[in-house]
Structure 1
Amino acid sequence: MTDATLIARPVTTAQQVHDWLHQRILRGDLPPGARLSETDIAEQIGLSRQPVREAFIRLASDGLAEVRPQRGTYIGKISARAVLSARLIREAVESDLARMLADRDADLSTMEAELSVQDRANAQGDVAAFIASDDRFHQAMALAAGQAAVWQDLERLKSQMNRLRHMSMRVFDRSETIGQHRAILTALQARDADAAEAAVRAHLRQMLTELPQIAAAHPDYFTD
């Protein structure tokens, strides 16, 4: 098998089912504790049960589902420990990325454009679009710093964090997040590494306030 064949390999049906369910879990369409039925989902999307079963197994390995023998598959609770771990890693990595980026003449236009997207999504109350733009803003910072692989590593860490974000962004003031993003961008435009690092840290520490409040409001959705 050639390298070109490997690159061109299409996404499997099981992978597509996994990705679809993964997004529904992150958005909260499938809340913690909800039961997943192979039969129901297979009928809903017009597939056999085998790719659905494979998707369930992958979701369990992601920490997003729990397979209970003789009982079925259930959406897992949000791990507060995993949220805090991902947040800590992101703060350490992204504050370094900000310092790297402030030391070079980088193209920050994508980050600027995403702020406009966030303004529109916030005005329209479109939480999913807002969070997608939030992700692209942070990704753009990594790309501008020449660290695309670093962002891919961060993406693999933050599923539990994203579940919390979809909940918190429905409750807390999204304009505050936009203001934090603006502070990061302004510092980068000024080539002020200290201010850029401080702005990133302040932004990512917001979750330390949001997590206990959301967990207190939805105790059945969280686990240590």
Structure 2
Amino acid sequence: MSEGIGETPRAEKERTGTKITVSSPEQLALQYDERGLIPAIVQDVKSGTVLMLAYMNQESLEKTLAEGRTWFYSRSRQQLWAKGETSGCVQKVRGIYYDCDADTLLVQVEQTGVACHEGSFSCFSHPIMEKDGAVDLDWAVLAWLEDLIREREKERPEGSYTTYLFEKGIDKILKKVGEESTEVVIAAKGGKKEEIIYETADLFYHLLVMLRERKIELKEVWKELAARHKK
């Protein structure tokens, strides 16, 4: 069983064991390799998607614990680096666990933007084998966008387009859904791939805003689609 260094809110409710909190990794019997490194699997805490694999040393783990965002050690540059330092795609740490051999870490995070430098939500987006019906990892971006829209509805940051839509109400939101649907039809009729992709992305966004306004979660739509697939 993996032990926890911090917990996600859900994990705190479900786990009945003792929560492990440490001020320094020196207190843990982690098994670093001969270079002083330990692999860290990074997982999106909301969707469960595995985002990336990186390496930590004791110093980067200490900084991660102290700052609440991921720090790693670059084997090629031989220096510490903070995820999102240049891209803005910061990972907020929600829980850290080590496995039964104490030689691998699992870091659960809230991912801002995408994790992969190629633009994918997850670095693991190049399948070698997939079971029939497997969901593309990049669909997790919709779950991330749903969470972002939920935050915008709650916090209503000034200058946000999402805030503007929620303040205008359902009629404005539905009008935009209709407009964006028409834009998709026009783009598809024109046949230009880039325009179809662009307009479809706009439609997805406005549909998610509409679902949020009506308090419908994306997983409920997935459940309906799955039920239809079984028929």
TM tier, smaller: under 0.3
The structure richer in helix per residue is 1
Rg: which structure is higher? 2
The structure richer in strand per residue is 2
Q: Which of structures 1 and 2 has the larger relative contact order (alpha carbons within 8 angstroms, sep 6+)?
A: 1
